[in-house]
Amino acid sequence: KQEVTQIPAALSVPEGENLVLNCSFTDSAIYNLQWFRQDPGKGLTSLLLIQSSQREQTSGRLNASLDKSSGRSTLYIAASQPGDSATYLCAVRRNSGTYKYIFGTGTRLKVLA
Amino acid sequence: GAVVSQHPSWVICKSGTSVKIECRSLDFQATTMFWYRQFPKQSLMLMATSNEGSKATYEQGVEKDKFLINHASLTLSTLTVTSAHPEDSSFYICSASLEGWTGGIEQYFGPGTRLTVT
């Protein structure tokens, strides 16, 4: 059974810091991995999607890497801003035969002005 | 593009009544939609996979007679919580799958529906 864990569970940093959020999964046979952002009481916004054959994806200040063999992904946020404060979730899609995603436990990020 | 809406955004109902939540893909057709529930400060738990024109597939432990899912068209799926109880109070989120520009299947999420059962 696939389990997805995110460390740390919560993080508070001053504005301007570069930071790394971690996601680990127990079954390396994944099809892809997706990072999401969730603001309080809101739905999810997709940030980055990495296919199993890819090593990383970049969008603006965000960079996500994937090491499938070790069951890890990291989300790097450069020059953090207060507007980045949210919960970040990673999710893995198990295989190409299903669209189901298994979500991680999330990291609650607070960037202090 | 790829916008998913939900209605209502929040609802309060009395114990024993039924509540229907709608999920719509506004600018694309989605053959597959998903329903999740999220308790406070917890992650999303998949409840069921909804396929247009067929019966939904429920995850283990989810009562299909309590959480009725109908996917009547390529742009609409509904979740009905029947005989709601206070423990059903939660944040319900739907998503729809669409092939993204990277070639992978991405999920686009609705804004969620906050259900409170009194």
Four-point Cα dihedral A25, B3, B46, A57, nearest 10: 0
- Which is nearest to B49 in space by CA: B95, B82, B7, B81? B95
Q: What is the mean pLDDT of residues A18-40?
A: 93
CA distance A78 to chain B (A): 23
What average pLDDT does the structure give for chain A? 92
Please answer yes or no on whether B49 and A99 come within 8 Å at the CB atom: yes
Q: Does position A98 have pLDDT exceeding 90, yes or no?
A: no
Nearest CA in chain B to A89: B43
Q: What is the mean pLDDT of residues B49-67?
A: 90
Question: Hey, is the C-beta of A32 within 8 angstroms of any chain B C-beta?
Answer: yes
More confident residue, B63 or B53: B63
Name the strand (E) or helix (H) holding A88: strand A86-93
CA A40 from centroid of its chain's CA atoms: 17
The lowest-confidence range among A87-91, A95-99, B8-12 is A95-99
d(CA B55, CA B67): 12
Q: Does position A95 have pLDDT exceeding 80, yes or no?
A: no
Nearest CA in chain B to A4: B43
Please answer yes or no on whether B106 and A57 come within 8 Å at the CB atom: no
Q: What is the mean pLDDT of residues B27-42?
A: 87
More confident residue, A2 or A71: A71
Distances (CA, A) of B48 to A40, A52, A54, B71, B93: 23, 25, 29, 12, 11
Q: What is the mean pLDDT of residues B83-103?
A: 84
Q: Does position B101 have pLDDT exceeding 70, yes or no?
A: no
d(CA B3, CA B109): 8
CA distance A51 to chain B (A): 7
Please answer yes or no on whether A49 and B111 come within 8 Å at the CB atom: no
Question: Hey, is the C-beta of A69 within 8 angstroms of any chain B C-beta?
Answer: no
What average pLDDT does the structure give for chain B? 89
Written as six digits, the tokens of B5 are 């809406």
The answer for A 44-63 residues in CB contact with B (under 8 A) is 44-46, 49, 51, 57
d(CA A66, CA A23): 9
d(CA A56, CA A65): 4
Q: What is the mean pLDDT of residues B91-111?
A: 78
Q: What is the mean pLDDT of residues B28-44?
A: 87
Q: Does position A10 have pLDDT exceeding 70, yes or no?
A: yes
Please answer yes or no on whether A43 and B106 come within 8 Å at the CB atom: no
Calculate what percentage of chain A has a pLDDT beyond 90.
74
CA distance B83 to chain A (A): 24
The predicted structure's pLDDT at residue A96: 62
Three-state SS annotation for B50-102: EECCCCCEECCCCCCCCEEEEEEECCEEEEEECCCCHHHCEEEEEEEEEECCC
Written as six digits, the tokens of B7 are 């209605």
d(CA A83, CA B100): 25
Please answer yes or no on whether A46 and B6 come within 8 Å at the CB atom: no
Q: Does position B68 have pLDDT exceeding 80, yes or no?
A: yes
The predicted structure's pLDDT at residue B97: 82
Four-point Cα dihedral B49, B52, B54, B57, nearest 10: 0
Please answer yes or no on whether B43 and A32 come within 8 Å at the CB atom: no
Q: Which residues of A58-75 are buried (b: 16+ CB within 10 A; e: fewer)?
A: eeeebbbbbebeebebbb
The predicted structure's pLDDT at residue A6: 95
